Chains A and B, each alone.
Chain A
Amino acid sequence: MKHASRLEGTHLLTGTARPSAARSRRRAARWTVIALLVLFVAVVVGLFAGAIRIPPLGILGWMVGDGSLTEQQRAIVSQLRLPRVVLAGLVGAALSVSGCAYQAAFRNPLADPYLLGSAAGAGLGATAVIVLGVADAPLALPAAAFAGALGGVGLAYLMASTRAAGRTSTSLLLAGVAVASFLTALQTYVQQRDTNDLRAVYSFILGRLGTGGWHEVLLALPWVGLACAVLLASRRMLEVLALGDLEAASLGAHVARDRAIVVIAASLATAAAVAVAGLIGFVGLIVPHAVRMATGASNRLVVGLSILFGAAFLILCDVLARTVVAPGELPIGVITALIGAPFFAVVLRRSGAAR
Chain B
Amino acid sequence: MHRSRSVRSSVLLALIGSLVAVGCASSTATESAGEATSSATVAFPVTIDAANGSVTLDAQPTKIVSISPTATEMLFAIGAGDQVTAADSYSNYPADAPTTDLSAFEPNVEAIAAYEPDLVVYASDPGDLQKSLDKLHIPALMEPAAVTLDDVYAQMAQLGEATGHVSEAATQNDALGAKIASTVAAIGDAGSGMSYYYELDDTFYSVTSNTFIGNVLGQLGLTNIADQAKGASSGYPQLSAEYIVQQDPSLILLADTRCCGQTAAKVAKRPGWQDLSAVGDGGVVELDDDVASRWGPRIADLLQQVGDVVQAQAAA
Query: From B237, which residue of chain A is reached at the shortest CB distance?
Result: A328
Q: Which of A107-161 contact B (CB under 8 A)?
A: 112, 114, 119, 135-136
| B181 contacts A by Cβ under 8 Å | no
Chain B residues with CB under 8 Å of A52's CB are 240, 242-243, 246
At the interface with chain A, which of B25-33, B158-166, B255-263? B255-263
In this complex, what residue of A is CB-closest to B14?
A331
Report A-chain residues with C-beta under 8 Å of the C-beta of B10. 206, 331, 333-334
CB of A203 within 8 Å of the partner chain: yes
A250 to chain B, nearest CB (A): 34
Residue-by-residue, is A73-102 near B (CB-CB < 8 Å gives 1, otherwise 0)?
001100111010000000000000000000
Q: Which residues from chain A contact B202 at a C-beta distance below 8 Å?
A: 200, 203, 211
Asked if A328 contacts B230 (CB within 8 A), the reply is yes
Within 8 A of A (CB), among B1-52: 1-7, 9-10, 12-13, 16
Task: Check if B62 is an interface residue, CB within 8 A of chain A.
Answer: no
Is the beta-carbon distance between B272 and A79 smaller than 8 angstroms?
yes
Chain A 309-330 per-residue mask, 1 if CB under 8 angstroms from chain B, else 0 = 0000000000000100111111
CB distance from A339 to the nearest CB of B (A): 13
Among the interface residues B241, B270, B275, which one has the most CB atoms of the partner chain A within 10 A?
A: B241
A112–B13 Cα distance when bound, in Å, is 24
Residue from B7, B16, B243, B258 in contact with A334 in the complex, judged by beta carbons closer than 8 Å: B7
Does B204 have its Cβ within 8 Å of any Cβ on chain A? yes
Q: How far is the CA of A295 from the CA of B45 in the complex (A)?
A: 78
Closest to B290 in A: A196
When C-beta atoms are compared, the residue in chain B nearest to A333 turns out to be B6
User: Given A202-B13, A279-B5: A322 and B237 within 8 A (CB)?
Assistant: no
Q: Does B271 contact A (CB under 8 A)?
A: yes
- Give every chain A residue within 8 A of B6 (Cβ-Cβ): 205-207, 278-281, 331, 333
Instruction: Using C-beta atoms within 8 Å of the partner chain, give the interface range for chain A.
Output: 35 or more
Interface flags for A53-86 (1: CB within 8 Å of B; 0: not) read 0000000000000000001100110011101000
Interface: B245 (CB within 8 A) = yes
Q: Which residue of A lies closest to B17 (CB)?
A: A199
Contact of A198 with B by CB under 8 A: yes
Q: Which of B243-278 contact A (CB under 8 A)?
A: 243, 245-246, 248, 256, 258-261, 270-272, 275
Contact, CB under 8 Å: A328 / B240: yes
Q: Do the beta carbons of A327 and B243 come within 8 Å of each other?
A: yes
Q: How far is the CA of A213 from the CA of B229 in the complex (A)?
A: 23
Residues of A within 8 A of B200 (CB): 199
Q: Are B259 and A210 in contact (CB under 8 A)?
A: no
Tell me which residues across on chain B come within 8 A of A135, comparing CB atoms: 261
Q: Which of A324-355 contact B (CB under 8 A)?
A: 325-331, 333-334, 337
A27–B259 alpha-carbon span in the complex (Å): 53
**Chain B residue at minimum C-beta to C-beta distance from A323:** B240
Residues of B within 8 A of A258 (CB): none
The reply on A208 being an interface residue by CB < 8 A is: yes
Q: Does B203 contact A (CB under 8 A)?
A: yes
- Nearest-CB distance from A112 to chain B (Å)? 7
- Contact A326:B243 (CB < 8 A) given known A214-B271, A281-B7: yes
A203 to B202: give the CA distance in the assembly, Å.
8
A83 contacts which chain B residues (CB < 8 A)? 271
A60 to chain B, nearest CB (A): 18
Chain B residues contacting A119 (CB-CB under 8 Å) are 2, 5
**B201 is an interface residue with CB less than 8 A from chain A:** yes
How far apart are B185's CB and chain A's nearest CB, in angstroms? Answer: 33
Residue A199 contacts which of B1, B2, B105, B260 (CB distance < 8 angstroms)?
Answer: B260
| The 6 A-B residue pairs with the shortest CB-CB distance in the complex, in nearest-first order | A281-B3, A327-B243, A51-B240, A328-B229, A79-B272, A213-B271
Spell out B's residues near A (CB within 8 Å).
Answer: 1-7, 9-10, 12-13, 16, 89-90, 103, 105, 200-204, 228-232, 237-243, 245-246, 248, 256, 258-261, 270-272, 275
Give 9 pairs: A residue, B residue, CB < 8 Å, sorted on A. Answer: A52-B240, A72-B275, A199-B200, A199-B259, A207-B6, A208-B203, A326-B229, A328-B240, A329-B238
A residues with a Cβ closer than 8 A to B are: 50-52, 71-72, 75-76, 79-81, 83, 112, 114, 119, 135-136, 180, 195-200, 202-203, 205-208, 210-211, 213-215, 278-282, 285, 322, 325-331, 333-334, 337
